[in-house]
Amino acid sequence: YYYPCEKLGDGIPDNQILCNFLRKQQKYAFKHLPREKRGFDAAIYNRHLEKIEWGDLFVFGQGDSGQLGLGPDVLEAAEPTFVKFDAPTVFKEVVSGGLHTVVLSHLGDVYSCGCNDEGALGRPSPDDSEYYFKKIEFPKSVMIQKIAAGDSFSSALSTEGVVYAWGTFRDSNGPIGLKEAYKIEHKPVVFFNMPDFAVSINAGNNHLIILTTSGKIFTCGCAEDGQLGRLSHRLASNRGGRFGLKLLLTPTIVYLSGGATPKELELKKHSSRVFGISSSKCASFAFLLDGRIFTWGLNNFKQLHPNLEERIYFPVSMEGALYKIYEPGKSMGYDIAGGVQHTVFVDYNNKPLAMGDCRDGRLGRIPCNYNDCSHDKSQPLPVHLASTHKVPIGIESSGAMQFHTVACGDACTLVITGKGELYSWGVGCNLQLGVGNGKDLYEATHVDVKSLSDQEVLYTSSGAQHSVIIARPRRVDSKDDLS
């Protein structure tokens, strides 16, 4: 399934050459799949063959479990710190688990570091090897194109549309297993392999979401907060009830109808029109071609929907919750992510908005108590931009400030502008905001540090105690606004 390429030479090849090679490699893989795996949705295919970008790896935050990958002598970093590898390597994706990190190289290799108590690294960790990024071994013919990570598990998607996973899911009572009940997988195992093959994966703290070529969504893992979107409260809160853990651990399709009301039943026809997925730590999101977003999961601070219960067990449309900014035919969210108690998304105007728990700066606004605050909880709130004039400036009022990527830790947020600049806000006690101190930030603050002074940030992710980014040297001729 792989394109027979010419030798790329020693070291890192020219960016454009490498980009062309990877794109050709991926297209060749799809073109030469077995006949039963053909006929996928063109919109989904194009969505997941987006422009490939790569750069160097930087980490910051707490690293007591080795999740920074800087060695046993460096257990914290207040600012983004470059991670050096033995051989010249650049990366196109990185994800932060609870206490571990997984990164994907330009050649499709996967590296991991951090806590390996429950197999989240997917490799042996003798001596102090968990404090360094080490390669995870896959079958010889496998090339990885996307990765995801939760608290105690990780996952990888191959160019053949096969999902691999390792580690274990957990609930409030402890480990529940990964592929089999209570069994921890310490090496990658085939987790999802169907004729309707996978094109994207995403992970919350303890659940995994899979999107297939036909636009179907499959979920598995912990269901306690409704994050699987397919089980009732009785089954979700009782480890599958009489059906057992197999009901949770087996990837099973999610219907956007949910079956809750006759009106929602009419939405079942839209299930085949899903083109993208995302997740917060305890919730899931589905993007439809008509611009709508469906969601399900933990809603205890109204971080998903202002008018629904604390846990949403079946998919509901966010259209009603976003009526002030929703325009038919336009995407309601260019990117979306969330922590445990807050959600942040970038709308179609490339402006970040937040909803949920407003304590400790989670929403990027002035500090307040959730129960006593005067904020309108029925709508996402514009994030404030920290300025040099000590007066909060709504990002929505700044025409020049464009954002295109958002990532959330448990109680913090990082966003990337069209210029490749990094902004952060929220709880900073773990140093995962990257600004050089452990203070909470109540407004979106530019991570203006020396290590990023000449860097263009491409990708970011944040876990429970640390954050990671991929950045490359800023191009002299790069456009100010890439959006």
Residue 179, pLDDT > 50, answer yes
Q: CA angle, 466 as apex, 461 and 467 as ends, to 5°? A: 30
pLDDT of residue 392: 40
Give Cα separations from 278 to 72, 175, 208, 235, 343 (angstroms).
33, 24, 10, 24, 11
**7 in a domain, yes or no?**
no
* HSE toward the beta carbon, residue 449, CA cutoff 13 A: 21
**3 in a domain, yes or no?**
no
**10 in a domain, yes or no?**
no
The closest of 395, 407, 243 to 336, measured between CA atoms, is 407
Residue 374, pLDDT > 90, answer no
pLDDT band at 348 (very low <50, low <70, confident <90, very high): confident
- CA 137/CA 107 separation, integer angstroms: 14
Give Cα separations from 245 to 54, 204, 224, 276 (angstroms).
39, 18, 12, 27
Partners of residue 64 on adjacent β-strands:
none
Residue 37, pLDDT > 80, answer no
Mean pLDDT of the 74-88 span: 94
pLDDT band at 478 (very low <50, low <70, confident <90, very high): very low
Percent of the chain with pLDDT over 70: 76
pLDDT band at 367 (very low <50, low <70, confident <90, very high): low
Residue keyed to tokens 């038919």:
328
Tokens of 293: 């977003």
The closest of 318, 390, 310, 394 to 351, measured between CA atoms, is 394
pLDDT of residue 428: 95
pLDDT band at 328 (very low <50, low <70, confident <90, very high): low
Q: Report yes or no: 444 and 385 within 8 Å, Cβ to Cβ.
A: yes
Q: Look up the domain containing 433 and give its range.
A: 15-473
pLDDT of residue 307: 86
Percent of the chain with pLDDT over 90: 60
**365 in a domain, yes or no?**
yes
- Reported as a single tens digit per residue, the pLDDT across 390-448 is 334 445 444 457 888 999 999 999 999 989 999 999 999 999 999 999 999 999 999 99
pLDDT band at 235 (very low <50, low <70, confident <90, very high): very high
Residue 259, pLDDT > 70, answer no
Tokens of 247: 């009901």
DSSP letter, residue 55 = B
**9 in a domain, yes or no?**
no
Which residues in 429-446 are b (16+ Cβ under 10 Å) and which e? ebbbbbbbeeebbbbbbe
Q: How many separate domains does the chain show?
A: 1
Q: For position 130, which CATH number holds?
A: 2.130.10.30
The CA dihedral of 53, 54, 58, 62, to the nearest 10 degrees, is 70
**83 in a domain, yes or no?**
yes
Mean pLDDT of the 364-378 span: 64
**272 in a domain, yes or no?**
yes
Enter the pTM of the model: 0.86
31 vs 419 pLDDT, higher one:
419
- Reported as a single tens digit per residue, the pLDDT across 149-173 is 999 999 999 999 999 999 999 999 9
The overall average pLDDT reported for the chain is: 83
- Please give the helix or strand (H or E) that residue 24 lies within, else none: helix 15-31
**481 in a domain, yes or no?**
no
- CA 172/CA 274 separation, integer angstroms: 31
Tokens of 424: 């952060």
Mean pLDDT of the 366-378 span: 61
pLDDT of residue 375: 62
